[in-house]
């Protein structure tokens, strides 16, 4: 088993979930800036570090960051160059893990070689995504129904990314709790870490996560592969809640997902924003939202639809008088310049 960076992390381990069209290169860069480095201006206008990364004082987390999941098959196709854009990252995000999905061992092997070549700290395989298009390929949550193929995929990833730690993100089962049979199949392959989303594929995110099953996963891990880390995932509200759930379940760490929406400060140890006057909080939130929009347009505007940003606007703009009206305007916007004008007009009303 290759542990890599995982064995150097201090427990409990708090990590950022991989989320399609959410934790893209633009948002991860913003999270690194505001959560890990306290909002310090670590990048210049071209996205390069203003000085060597080691000279910045790390103030928060997350302890590990993931890319959006990327198709291993796609990385072996003619569309490879566009998909590689989803694998762009900065040094500020380290340790950074590339997440792939796929159902063809040969293509997973080739994609894993690319992940290693690109300098990632680890490779994670998605074996829990419930998206029908992903499952139709035999990937994502479909692996739960085919443990033998899942093992072949893991072995291919290990061969391709030789020397990098391999991990898996999955669920407790497909239609029911199947940890007693599903998790051992994964653990037998000597994974560095397994993230357990405490729901079945059938449940999607429609029911509360049941962290007692994370405790069950710990017991199974202890009997098969004690060195494999178990991270829990599902309904983690913030870092304090993550620590609470970790303590109650016995997990080595927790993964936070939806809580990051509209809150790139999520992993910062400082609670400075919470204590600011209302107008200052609104100003800072909207300023960061503008920064996010500009980064998205600069880094991804040529390959991703601007509508992706609108799910972020719903999260950034809520909770104060006048937020709804502002949000309606933002949802009709079509680019950074228009968003900037809308926000500028709104901020003048607060003065």
**Residue 65 forms beta bridges with which residues?**
96
DSSP state of 161: T
Given 42, 103, 129, 217, the catalytic residue: 129
Residue 233 contacts residue 198 (beta carbons within 8 Å): yes
Distance between CA atoms of 127 and 136, rounded to whole angstroms? 13
Neighbours of 187 (CB within 10 A): 20
- Give the tokens for residue 91: 């040094």
Residue 35 Cα to chain centre, angstroms: 14
Distance between CA atoms of 149 and 275, rounded to whole angstroms? 51
| Nearest alpha-carbon partner for 87 in 120, 126, 129, 50 | 120
- As a residue count, the chain comes to 351
Residue 43 contacts residue 50 (beta carbons within 8 Å): yes
Distances in Å between the Cα of 83 and the Cα atoms of 93, 101, 334 are 19, 13, 24
By three-state DSSP, how is residue 280 classified?
Answer: helix
| Nearest alpha-carbon partner for 16 in 127, 97, 129, 136 | 97
- Give the tokens for residue 129: 């995504």
129 is catalytic: yes
Distance between CA atoms of 4 and 23, rounded to whole angstroms? 23
Strands (E), 17-128: 65-71, 96-101, 122-127
| Nearest alpha-carbon partner for 179 in 166, 196, 191, 164 | 196
Distance between CA atoms of 46 and 292, rounded to whole angstroms? 14
Report the catalytic residues.
129
């Amino acid at each position: 088993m290759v542990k890599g960076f995982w064995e150097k992390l201090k427990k409990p381990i708090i990590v950022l979930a991989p989320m399609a069209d959410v934790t893209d290169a633009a948002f991860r860069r913003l999270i690194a800036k505001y959560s890990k480095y306290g909002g310090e201006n670590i990048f210049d206008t071209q996205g390069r570090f203003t000085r060597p990364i080691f000279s910045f004082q790390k103030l928060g987390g997350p302890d590990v960051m993931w890319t959006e999941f990327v198709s291993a098959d796609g990385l072996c196709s003619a569309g490879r160059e566009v998909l590689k854009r989803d694998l762009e990252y900065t040094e500020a995000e380290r340790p950074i893990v590339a997440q792939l999905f796929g159902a063809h061992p040969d293509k997973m092997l080739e994609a894993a070689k690319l992940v290693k070549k690109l300098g990632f700290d680890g490779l994670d395989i998605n074996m829990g995504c419930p998206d029908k298009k992903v499952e139709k390929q035999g990937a994502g949550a479909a692996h739960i129904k085919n443990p033998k193929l899942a093992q072949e995929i893991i072995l291919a990833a290990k061969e391709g990314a030789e020397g990098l730690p391999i991990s898996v993100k999955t669920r407790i089962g497909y239609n029911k709790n199947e940890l007693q049979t599903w998790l051992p199949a994964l653990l037998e392959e000597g994974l560095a870490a397994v993230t357990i989303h405490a729901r079945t594929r059938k449940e999607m995110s429609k029911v509360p996560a049941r962290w007692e099953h994370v405790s069950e996963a710990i017991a199974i891990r202890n009997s098969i592969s004690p060195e494999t880390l178990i991270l829990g995932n599902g309904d983690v509200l913030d870092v304090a809640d993550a620590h609470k759930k970790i303590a109650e379940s016995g997990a080595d760490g927790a993964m936070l997902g939806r809580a990051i929406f509209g809150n790139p400060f999520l992993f910062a140890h400082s609670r400075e924003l919470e204590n600011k006057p209302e107008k200052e909080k609104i100003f800072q939130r909207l300023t960061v939202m503008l920064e996010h929009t500009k980064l998205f347009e600069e880094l991804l505007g040529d390959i991703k639809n601007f509508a992706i940003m609108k799910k972020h606007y719903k999260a950034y703009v809520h909770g104060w008088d006048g937020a709804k009206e502002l949000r309606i305007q933002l949802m009709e916007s079509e680019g950074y310049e228009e968003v900037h004008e809308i926000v500028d007009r709104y901020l003048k009303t607060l003065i």
